[in-house]
Structure formats: structure tokens, C-alpha cells
A and B are shown apart, each in its own frame.
Chain A
Amino acid sequence: MTRLQIYIDFRSANSYLAIGPTTEVAQSIGVEVAWLPFASKQKPAPVEHDNETKGERHHRIRAEYRMRIERQYARRQNLTLNNAAYEMPGATNLALTGLALHPTLDYVNAAFDAYWVRQLDLDDVDVVNELLVQTQAKEQLPNAPACAQLLDNVLHQASARGVIDAPTYLIDDELYLGREHLPWIRELILIA
């Protein structure tokens, strides 16, 4: 069966917003989704300050816009995006390691809900092990060095493929950043 590969990060609201539409497209054309971890760079929402440069202002208003539009599309899917996750993005490395071990839709949904709704610490071993149990994973997180090694390997592979942000779809070595590509991705898979 053909697989639709998608790199996601639990800290990325756009990744969260891509889960439903990606699953829907995959089901409609009968392909499996391969959920892959990626650690995107998420900066705290910039705050206006005196002596703000033009470039800083650009980044601030762009970030403000991003939050507004992501929330608008989140409401469409009845999803919640908490302020705190935008204001101070937390580390999610252990949850990404969990994804590498247990790449199922149940785990993906549980981890996004834990981060964006329940505001849990996705870099906490107990929290992630609980998510793994809750989603019927066969194993728990290994020890810290093994976790770090595992995540390092998958992130290195993503980086070697040229992934720069999430969500990124990988189709025939071509990268597509964002769910807005889904109409074309659907076409590409259908003609493959």
C-alpha cells in the first residue's frame, strides 16, 4: 500500500491543524499515513517594545497574524489552541521520540491534545509514557541516552531530506510544507 509520509511537530499548530485533513485525504484515496517526528523551531510570540526595528515589527505582526489565522482554522475543526503554547513553546523531544516508537494516529491525536489543550509537558518521561500506555503502545520510552540517540537519528534523516519545518509532506523526494498542498498531493498519489 502507498504511504503518505508527513513530518509533524507537536509544538506546531499547523501540524495539529493538518492531522484531520491529512487523514481525510489519505482515507479518501486509500493510502496509509506515515507519521514522522520533526523538531521545528518555535519561538515565543514576540512582544512589542520601544525601539522596535522594522524587521522586528515585521516578525511580531506576522506572528500575531499566524496566531489569528491558525485559531480561525482551528475553530473550523473544533480544536483548541491554548495561549500558553504560543507564548512559551515547551520542549517536546520525548513526545517526538514516542512518535518514532509508536507512530499511530491515536498517539498523534493524544499528544497534540496533551500539548495544545491539556498543556502537559511533552518532555516529561511520565507524561509521554502515559500517552504511550493510553494509545496501546507495546513499549515505553527507553533510557535517556537511548531516547536522545533515537530522536537524533530520525531528525538527522529529516534534515538530510531537506525538511525545514512542519508539517512537511514527502512525495517522491519532493517536499511540500503545509496542508494547503493537500489538493495537489492527492492528485500526485492518485496518478502514481
Chain B
Amino acid sequence: MRALESNSPLIVYVDVKSPYAYIAIEPTLALERELSVLFDWRPLTLDIPSYLGSARKNDRGKLVENNRSPQQWGAVKYAYRDAHRYAKRQGRLLLGTQKIWDSSIANIGITWVSEQARDLLPVYLDRIYTPFWRRELDIEKVEVVAEIIQASGVTTDGFAAFVEGIGRERHDQLQSALHPVGIFGVPTYVVNGEFFFGRENLPLVRWRLLGSNGNMPDAAYPL
């Protein structure tokens, strides 16, 4: 799979463990509905410790592991506060995570659902993101993700083998293809081979998808 190419007019890279990807889901789905086209949703499993340090809290919220600088903590705290207030605007609860999760199984689930029942992908995205961000899901367990897939109305026959085999292989190959083309974070939108990072670019993405007519819009978070 080529990171910047698709049969769909728009590729959307997301990660279940990203708060910014979470609050981008609804406005991105809204754009998909508005334009009546199916976007190509793909997983980008962030390796957060490699660029933002790592940390872990215990059940009481006490920091038990930490190798972040004060600047990194400042950025992380602001990001969560910011994502939290926009989630609240969307009527969603977003609680800060207590560790950096391995979201690869839940992300492979995006590929699985896209291939098995593309029309149910919005249901899966809602059912996986919403409880995860309420701290109700252990997305590192394949049986937990399978339950969500099933609850979304999608078959899980072969899902465990997919995660262990070809699904994992394709996921890992895609991850290796992202940095070489310059993609580094989520949500990322790819239009005509050009990528845009962050939902603040949704007005620009929409403008591009509609043929770049009139004045280019400025960056803005959708409300």
C-alpha cells in the first residue's frame, strides 16, 4: 500500500489512542456525509515515546514512570486540556490516559471493518473511541476489540488470525512507509498526494475536494 495513494479522493490517517484524532472523527465523518464519498480511513499507530517521552500513572493518578522534560509535559497537558474542551462541545467525555497504549490491534480493526463492511466503519469508530476515552476499554486485548467489531455489526470470523497475520503485516508495512513520505501524526488528510496534519485543515481539505474554487479558507477548528 502506498502511503499517499488511494482510489478514494481522501485518505484519513487516525490512531485510536490519539485525543486529537478522537475529536477529529465527527467533523471528518460529517465531511464524508456532506460530500457523499467514502474516505479511505487508515491506521497510523503513533510511537509517542520516540518523540514525546513516556510516562505512566497508577490507578490513583500518581505518576509512577516519567522521562519527559517540563516542556514536553507542558505540551502534553495543554493538548489534553484542549482536546477535552472540544470533546465536551461534541458531548463526549475525554479522560486523559494513564499510560501510552499499544493501539495497533484497535487500529488494525479499522482496516478489518473497512474491508468487511465499509458502511459500518462510522459505527466501529464510535464504539471503539468513545469507551476507550472514558477509560472503559483495554484496547490491547484482541478479544476486547473483537467484541467491539461484533457489536458494530461486523463479522469477526478470522479477525484474530488477521491481527496475528496479514493484518499485522500490512499495518507494520504501512507504518514504515509513513515517515519516508513525511507523514508523522494524526489526524492526517491526504488529497491528491498532498497531506495536511490536524483537523484545523479540514476547511482547506474540503475546499480542495470541491475543486479549489474561490478563496482558500484559513485554518480553523470545526465547531
**A-side interface residues toward B, CB under 8 Å?**
21, 41, 53-55, 57-59, 61-62, 64-65, 69, 73, 76, 162, 164, 174-184, 187
B1 adjacent to chain A (CB < 8 Å): no
Provide the bound-state CA to CA distance between A187 and B89, in Å: 13
Q: Which B residues between 64 and 89 are near A, CB-CB below 8 angstroms?
A: 71, 74-75, 78, 82, 85, 89
Q: Is the CB of A175 within 8 A of B78?
A: yes
> Hey, which chain B residues are within 8 Å of A76, CB to CB?
215-216, 218
Q: Is the CB of B223 within 8 A of A183?
A: yes
Q: Is the CB of A178 within 8 A of B78?
A: no
Closest to B196 in A: A69
24 contacts between A and B (CB under 8 A): A41-B71, A54-B179, A58-B50, A58-B51, A59-B51, A61-B182, A65-B184, A65-B197, A69-B196, A73-B218, A76-B215, A76-B216, A76-B218, A162-B78, A164-B71, A164-B75, A175-B78, A176-B82, A177-B78, A180-B220, A180-B221, A183-B221, A184-B223, A187-B223
Closest to A68 in B: B182
Provide the bound-state CA to CA distance between A110 and B166, in Å: 58
Q: Is the CB of B182 within 8 A of A180?
A: no
* B-side interface residues, number (CB < 8 Å): 28
> Hey, which chain A residues are within 8 Å of B74, CB to CB?
164
Instruction: Quote the shortest CB–CB distance from A109 to chain B (angstroms).
Output: 18
Instruction: Quote the shortest CB–CB distance from A64 to chain B (angstroms).
Output: 6
Fill in one digit per residue for B53-69: 1 if any A CB lies within 8 Å of its CB, else 0: 00000000000000000
Closest to A180 in B: B200
Provide the bound-state CA to CA distance between A101 and B47, in Å: 44
B19 adjacent to chain A (CB < 8 Å): no
Q: Is the CB of A58 within 8 A of B197?
A: no
Instruction: Quote the shortest CB–CB distance from A16 to chain B (angstroms).
Output: 13
Q: Is the CB of B78 within 8 A of A53?
A: no
Across the interface, A61 reaches (CB within 8 A) one of B50, B179, B200, namely B179
Provide the bound-state CA to CA distance between A76 and B214, in Å: 12
> Hey, which chain A residues are within 8 Å of B185, CB to CB?
62
Across the interface, A177 reaches (CB within 8 A) one of B51, B82, B184, B198, namely B82
Q: Is the CB of B218 within 8 A of A184?
A: no
